[in-house]
Amino acid sequence: MAGRDWNPWRRLLALPNESRTKTVIVAFLVSAVCAALVSGATVVLRPIQTANRAAEEQARIAALVQGIPGMTTLLEQSGGALSTVVIDLTTGRAAAEVTPATLEATLNDATHWTVLDAAQDVAGLGQRPDFAQVFLLRDNDTVSLVLLPISGQGYGGRIDAILALRGDMNTIAGIAVTRHSETPGLGGRIQETSWQGDFPGTELRDENGEMRFAVARGPAATAYEVDGITGATRTGRGVTQMVRFWLGPDGYGPLLDAIQRGSSEPCRKRRPIGPH
């Protein structure tokens, strides 16, 4: 009489296909293999996805800069390159330990985010990162252009954009909306170049330093306004509030103040990047 087969795999295969035990075990094994393959693919593809997102953002930055009148000449005069630096938003100075290469990992740590109270949170973010990567164009020792990533809540969800300011830190040079969830044909028009083209030359603050920027409900009536979008009042309000937040004291305000004072600190530890 043959001895009992103690090999579990052969014993499983020997079970009839109608066996509930065999069905459950095979289903579990297939699920485990599929989960492992999906996890492996995620790990392998994550660097590619990150690189693709970075390339897309660089392309938007390049398009934004090239669309600003006189920028091509300024880039050529300054060597054809922007520089990038990670800013500590609390101080407005270059971050001591965080670089563009380590920024994403740093912000994966919840301790590097600041919770905003209701009075601060005009952009509807809930919390703000402690560090942000900005881009600077210098004309000799003077910052002639700064590109600032900004975000806020619109009608349909989060809006992300890059805002360009001229050297006076009070005049908008351009804007590029990089992500939004607004209604197509209404709020979604914020991604149209025709609407974004209304931003260059718009001023932020009046002579008393009071923030005046706003997306108007209709056609712009002052030097501090851009045209509103018909039927998208809440989207316009969201853009207004995110610009006001990020250029205020809880956003890039300390950095802009330092640049206006002529401080070189925000520009230290900078890394040149090509104009793409």
Express each pLDDT in 250-260 by its tens digit.
999 999 998 88
pLDDT above 50 for 275 = no
Flag whether pLDDT at 54 surpasses 80.
no
Q: What average pLDDT score do residues 90-109 get?
A: 91
- Within 67-91, residue ranges assigned H as helices are 71-77
Cα 144 to Cα 82, 132, 139, 218: the distances in Å are 11, 19, 6, 31
Residue 153 Rama label (left phi>0; alpha psi -120 to 50; beta): beta
Name the range with the highest mean pLDDT among 34-48, 57-71, 127-141, 213-227.
213-227
Tokens of 269: 């530890």
- The Cα 259–Cα 262 span in angstroms is 5
d(CA 147, CA 133) in angstroms, rounded, equals 9
Cα distance between residue 35 and residue 37, in whole Å: 5
Query: Angle CA(269)–CA(272)–CA(275) in degrees, nearest 5?
Result: 150
Q: What is the pLDDT of residue 264?
A: 46
pLDDT on residue 221 = 93
Q: What is the CA radius of gyration of the chain?
A: 26
